[in-house]
Structure 1
Amino acid sequence: MLIPSPKLSGLFPQDILIIQSVAAAHLLFGQYDKAMVLLKLAQWLEPECPKTLELAAYCAFCAGNSKAGISAVEKLEKQSALVSKELRVRRRVAAQFI
Protein backbone atom coordinates (compact mmCIF):
# COMPACT_ATOMS: atom_id res chain seq x y z
CA MET A 1 0.00 0.00 0.00
CA LEU A 2 1.16 3.49 -0.81
CA ILE A 3 2.04 5.49 2.30
CA PRO A 4 1.72 9.22 1.60
CA SER A 5 4.81 11.22 2.38
CA PRO A 6 4.79 14.74 3.84
CA LYS A 7 5.75 16.05 0.39
CA LEU A 8 2.35 14.94 -0.92
CA SER A 9 0.48 17.27 1.41
CA GLY A 10 0.76 19.99 -1.24
CA LEU A 11 -1.29 17.98 -3.73
CA PHE A 12 -4.90 18.84 -4.35
CA PRO A 13 -7.77 16.79 -5.79
CA GLN A 14 -7.51 18.71 -9.07
CA ASP A 15 -4.05 17.12 -9.46
CA ILE A 16 -5.81 13.79 -9.91
CA LEU A 17 -6.30 14.48 -13.63
CA ILE A 18 -2.54 14.78 -14.11
CA ILE A 19 -1.88 11.65 -12.07
CA GLN A 20 -4.54 9.72 -14.00
CA SER A 21 -3.06 10.86 -17.32
CA VAL A 22 0.43 9.70 -16.40
CA ALA A 23 -0.99 6.40 -15.10
CA ALA A 24 -2.87 5.94 -18.39
CA ALA A 25 0.39 6.49 -20.29
CA HIS A 26 2.05 3.77 -18.20
CA LEU A 27 -0.90 1.48 -19.00
CA LEU A 28 -0.40 2.06 -22.73
CA PHE A 29 3.20 0.87 -22.43
CA GLY A 30 2.34 -2.13 -20.26
CA GLN A 31 3.96 -0.68 -17.13
CA TYR A 32 1.20 -1.87 -14.82
CA ASP A 33 3.18 -1.61 -11.57
CA LYS A 34 4.03 2.05 -12.19
CA ALA A 35 0.45 2.79 -13.21
CA MET A 36 -0.94 1.16 -10.06
CA VAL A 37 1.35 3.21 -7.80
CA LEU A 38 0.00 6.39 -9.37
CA LEU A 39 -3.58 5.19 -9.19
CA LYS A 40 -3.19 4.41 -5.49
CA LEU A 41 -1.95 7.96 -5.01
CA ALA A 42 -4.99 9.29 -6.88
CA GLN A 43 -7.26 7.11 -4.71
CA TRP A 44 -5.58 8.50 -1.60
CA LEU A 45 -6.33 12.05 -2.77
CA GLU A 46 -9.95 11.29 -3.71
CA PRO A 47 -11.03 7.76 -2.78
CA GLU A 48 -14.36 7.76 -4.62
CA CYS A 49 -13.25 9.13 -8.00
CA PRO A 50 -14.95 6.95 -10.66
CA LYS A 51 -12.29 7.52 -13.33
CA THR A 52 -9.52 6.43 -10.95
CA LEU A 53 -11.48 3.30 -10.04
CA GLU A 54 -12.08 2.52 -13.71
CA LEU A 55 -8.38 2.92 -14.53
CA ALA A 56 -7.45 0.79 -11.50
CA ALA A 57 -9.84 -1.95 -12.63
CA TYR A 58 -8.44 -1.87 -16.15
CA CYS A 59 -4.88 -1.93 -14.82
CA ALA A 60 -5.63 -4.89 -12.55
CA PHE A 61 -7.23 -6.87 -15.39
CA CYS A 62 -4.33 -6.11 -17.73
CA ALA A 63 -1.83 -7.18 -15.07
CA GLY A 64 -3.70 -10.45 -14.59
CA ASN A 65 -5.12 -9.60 -11.17
CA SER A 66 -8.77 -10.33 -11.86
CA LYS A 67 -9.78 -10.27 -8.18
CA ALA A 68 -8.60 -6.68 -7.76
CA GLY A 69 -10.19 -5.74 -11.08
CA ILE A 70 -13.55 -7.17 -10.08
CA SER A 71 -13.31 -5.45 -6.70
CA ALA A 72 -12.78 -2.09 -8.40
CA VAL A 73 -15.69 -2.69 -10.78
CA GLU A 74 -17.92 -3.58 -7.82
CA LYS A 75 -16.97 -0.30 -6.13
CA LEU A 76 -17.96 1.51 -9.31
CA GLU A 77 -21.27 -0.31 -9.44
CA LYS A 78 -21.98 0.59 -5.82
CA GLN A 79 -21.42 4.23 -6.65
CA SER A 80 -23.86 3.94 -9.56
CA ALA A 81 -21.08 5.23 -11.77
CA LEU A 82 -21.04 4.39 -15.45
CA VAL A 83 -18.86 1.39 -16.13
CA SER A 84 -17.56 0.98 -19.64
CA LYS A 85 -18.81 -1.97 -21.66
CA GLU A 86 -15.25 -3.25 -21.98
CA LEU A 87 -14.85 -3.49 -18.20
CA ARG A 88 -18.14 -5.36 -17.85
CA VAL A 89 -17.02 -7.86 -20.48
CA ARG A 90 -13.61 -8.26 -18.83
CA ARG A 91 -15.31 -8.82 -15.48
CA ARG A 92 -17.40 -11.65 -16.88
CA VAL A 93 -14.34 -13.26 -18.45
CA ALA A 94 -12.25 -12.83 -15.30
CA ALA A 95 -15.01 -14.31 -13.11
CA GLN A 96 -14.59 -17.61 -14.94
CA PHE A 97 -11.04 -17.92 -13.57
CA ILE A 98 -11.84 -17.25 -9.93
Structure 2
Amino acid sequence: MDRPSPPASLLELSDLSGFGIRLTPAPEVWEWLQAEILVDTGSIHNEDHAHLKLQSHDVEEFVGVVRRYGASPDVQALVDAANNPAEVGKLNISRACGTCLLKSA
Protein backbone atom coordinates (compact mmCIF):
# COMPACT_ATOMS: atom_id res chain seq x y z
CA MET A 1 0.00 0.00 0.00
CA ASP A 2 1.36 3.46 -0.95
CA ARG A 3 1.56 6.09 1.72
CA PRO A 4 -0.23 9.38 0.99
CA SER A 5 2.01 12.25 -0.08
CA PRO A 6 1.45 15.95 -0.66
CA PRO A 7 0.85 17.28 -4.17
CA ALA A 8 4.02 17.65 -6.24
CA SER A 9 3.51 21.44 -6.43
CA LEU A 10 4.09 21.69 -2.67
CA LEU A 11 7.39 19.85 -2.94
CA GLU A 12 8.82 21.92 -5.80
CA LEU A 13 11.29 24.67 -4.99
CA SER A 14 9.91 28.19 -5.20
CA ASP A 15 11.47 31.64 -5.60
CA LEU A 16 11.58 31.78 -1.79
CA SER A 17 13.54 28.52 -1.41
CA GLY A 18 16.81 30.44 -1.07
CA PHE A 19 15.41 31.86 2.18
CA GLY A 20 14.63 28.41 3.57
CA ILE A 21 10.95 28.66 2.62
CA ARG A 22 9.71 25.58 0.78
CA LEU A 23 6.07 26.51 0.40
CA THR A 24 4.71 29.20 -1.87
CA PRO A 25 2.13 31.55 -0.34
CA ALA A 26 -1.26 31.98 -1.95
CA PRO A 27 -1.15 34.49 -4.85
CA GLU A 28 -3.33 36.96 -2.93
CA VAL A 29 -0.83 37.22 -0.06
CA TRP A 30 1.66 39.39 -1.97
CA GLU A 31 -1.10 41.76 -3.09
CA TRP A 32 -2.46 42.00 0.49
CA LEU A 33 1.05 42.53 1.89
CA GLN A 34 1.63 45.42 -0.50
CA ALA A 35 -1.76 47.05 0.17
CA GLU A 36 -1.95 46.65 3.95
CA ILE A 37 1.64 46.67 5.22
CA LEU A 38 4.16 48.07 2.78
CA VAL A 39 2.44 51.19 1.48
CA ASP A 40 2.30 54.24 3.76
CA THR A 41 -1.51 54.21 3.70
CA GLY A 42 -1.86 50.54 4.66
CA SER A 43 -4.10 49.72 7.62
CA ILE A 44 -1.28 47.99 9.52
CA HIS A 45 1.69 49.88 8.09
CA ASN A 46 4.46 50.45 10.62
CA GLU A 47 7.21 52.96 9.78
CA ASP A 48 9.66 50.92 11.86
CA HIS A 49 9.35 48.16 9.26
CA ALA A 50 10.10 50.38 6.26
CA HIS A 51 13.15 49.04 4.40
CA LEU A 52 15.78 50.33 1.91
CA LYS A 53 16.57 53.44 4.03
CA LEU A 54 20.10 54.47 4.99
CA GLN A 55 20.18 51.83 7.72
CA SER A 56 20.31 48.15 6.93
CA HIS A 57 17.44 45.97 8.06
CA ASP A 58 19.43 44.36 10.89
CA VAL A 59 20.51 47.69 12.34
CA GLU A 60 16.98 49.01 12.02
CA GLU A 61 15.52 46.03 13.88
CA PHE A 62 18.26 46.18 16.54
CA VAL A 63 17.59 49.86 17.20
CA GLY A 64 13.86 49.17 17.47
CA VAL A 65 14.40 46.41 20.04
CA VAL A 66 16.74 48.60 22.12
CA ARG A 67 14.19 51.45 22.01
CA ARG A 68 11.42 49.17 23.25
CA TYR A 69 13.27 47.11 25.85
CA GLY A 70 16.36 49.13 26.74
CA ALA A 71 20.01 48.20 26.53
CA SER A 72 21.41 45.12 28.22
CA PRO A 73 24.90 45.44 29.76
CA ASP A 74 26.42 44.06 26.53
CA VAL A 75 24.48 46.54 24.39
CA GLN A 76 25.45 49.36 26.75
CA ALA A 77 29.11 48.40 26.24
CA LEU A 78 28.55 48.71 22.48
CA VAL A 79 26.95 52.13 22.95
CA ASP A 80 29.82 53.26 25.17
CA ALA A 81 32.38 52.10 22.59
CA ALA A 82 30.51 53.92 19.81
CA ASN A 83 30.39 57.15 21.84
CA ASN A 84 34.13 57.18 22.49
CA PRO A 85 36.80 58.19 19.97
CA ALA A 86 38.43 55.40 18.01
CA GLU A 87 41.27 53.70 19.85
CA VAL A 88 43.24 53.23 16.64
CA GLY A 89 43.50 56.18 14.27
CA LYS A 90 42.73 55.66 10.61
CA LEU A 91 46.35 56.27 9.68
CA ASN A 92 47.53 53.61 12.13
CA ILE A 93 45.02 50.90 11.20
CA SER A 94 47.75 48.80 9.58
CA ARG A 95 49.39 48.51 13.00
CA ALA A 96 46.30 46.76 14.35
CA CYS A 97 46.29 44.11 11.63
CA GLY A 98 48.63 41.13 11.91
CA THR A 99 48.55 40.54 8.16
CA CYS A 100 49.54 44.15 7.47
CA LEU A 101 52.37 43.92 9.98
CA LEU A 102 53.70 40.77 8.30
CA LYS A 103 53.57 42.44 4.87
CA SER A 104 55.48 45.46 6.14
CA ALA A 105 58.17 43.37 7.89
Query: Do the structures match in fold with TM over 0.5?
Result: no
Q: State the structure with more CA Rg.
A: 2
TM-score (norm. length: structure 1): 0.25
**TM-score, structure 2 as length reference:** 0.23
- Higher relative CO (Cα under 8 Å, sequence separation at least 6) belongs to 1
Q: Which has the higher helix share?
A: 1
